Structure 1
Amino acid sequence: MNSRKVFLLAGSFLLYFLVQVLMLKNMVIFGVAFCFLYVLYVLLLPVEMKTIPLMLIAFILGLIVDFFYDTMGMHTLCLVAIAFFRNFWLDILTPTGGYDENLQPSMLNMGLGWFVTYSIPLILVHHILFFYVDSLGTNLFFPVVQKIIASTIFVFVMSIVVQLLFYRRRRGI
């Protein structure tokens, strides 16, 4: 990885963190839809990134978000889990010709249908883990399911908006 790519990854890491902590921390729609947009950072890392570095990046981002949310490792757990499953999921979704080198798995590069198939299961895993751990010890099954579904849809829609506004087509990081 050249220094330009590392600089862009570090800059986007910082940007996603700042947006999450400063702008989206208290954004909740109808008391059930939470916006954890920082998940998109891990989803949009280059396809060829190996699992261990991906998990380390997810660990650092999750730990920093946990520090500002006072959630004692919940964001770290969920983000590391999706970082662990991401490459396996990418292997399942590999197109016939394979992936291009330095490809960012975004909607603009791969198409909306592929991005829906790629991102929604991973966002759903993140939200299931997060809200399940958050509600341990309570009998609040339906409110938790409602939060999972509403938050998954909200994060997915926000990820589409962010990609349309701030990302370019067919460019590696």
Structure 2
Amino acid sequence: MYRTLPYLGLFAAVALLQVFLFDNLTISIYLNPLVYIVFIALLPLDTPPAAVLGAGLALGVTMDFAMGAAGINTIATLLIAFLRPTLAGMICGRDNVREGGIPSSARLGERKLITYLVALTLVHHAVFFSLEALSWTHALHTLLRIVVSTAVSAGFIWIIARIFTAKIPVRI
């Protein structure tokens, strides 16, 4: 994988942002922004699936260790790492995935990038909050947490993606 150093920096930055900023936002019980998944979302589209799964495992274990969770982050992050090629192919088009490159608004278009980021965030949050609740008794409460947190997280993820991909040429 090319551009290893910027991705290590992105990994460290989103892990630190999640632990020290977003985990300490106590606006509401329904709002829990989980923005660390931007690392998986911004990996080049032609990254081998084993490398994406390895990155997802490393990110999930790191977040579980930092947040004191018992594997919930790892399960949700590994699922989006596994589903990423399929979602990217459905949303961005098979030709864009075959060409590779970093998902950015300049490369994919703003609408496709936002759809891609929201889809990954929605899948992650649905698994995360369902495992966190581990009960059907508060299904509406869990659904509300998924929807609100997905909306806020997707906004923050979009901002981070725009910052990270600002100086990158379209076809890299």
TM-score (norm 1): 0.88
- State the partner residue of 2:79: 81
Alpha-carbon separation, structure 2, partners of 1:97 and 1:51: 17
Q: Measured at CA, do residues 164 and 92 of structure 1 come closer, stay the same or move farther in structure 2, by a change above 3 Å?
A: closer
* Number of aligned residues: 171
Indicate if the aligned counterparts of 1:128 and 1:148 stay in contact, CA closer than 8 A: yes
Q: 1:70-109, aligned counterparts within 5 Å?
A: 70-95=68-93, 97-99=95-97, 101=99, 103-109=101-107
TM-score (norm 2): 0.89
Gaps of 5+ in 1: none
The offset of 1:96, in angstroms, is 7.4
Indicate if the aligned counterparts of 1:62 and 1:79 stay in contact, CA closer than 8 A: yes
More off after superposition, 100-109 vs 84-93: 100-109
Indicate if the aligned counterparts of 2:92 and 2:112 stay in contact, CA closer than 8 A: no
What SS does the corresponding residue of 2:46 show, helix, strand or coil? coil
Matching residue's letter, 2:43: L
Q: Measured at CA, do residues 27 and 121 of structure 1 come closer, stay the same or move farther in structure 2, by a change above 3 Å?
A: same
Alpha-carbon separation, structure 2, partners of 1:96 and 1:84: 17
The offset of 1:93, in angstroms, is 3.0
Indicate if the aligned counterparts of 1:21 and 1:68 stay in contact, CA closer than 8 A: yes
- What is the RMSD computed on CA atoms of the aligned residues? 2.1
Q: 1:21-170, aligned counterparts within 5 Å?
A: 21-95=19-93, 97-99=95-97, 101=99, 103-137=101-135, 139-168=137-166, 169-170=168-169
Alpha-carbon separation, structure 2, partners of 1:13 and 1:38: 8
Matching residue's letter, 1:80: L
Matching residue's letter, 1:170: P
Percent of matched pairs sharing the same residue: 24
More off after superposition, 129-138 vs 80-89: 129-138
Q: Measured at CA, do residues 98 and 109 of structure 1 come closer, stay the same or move farther in structure 2, by a change above 3 Å?
A: closer
Gaps of 5+ in 2: none
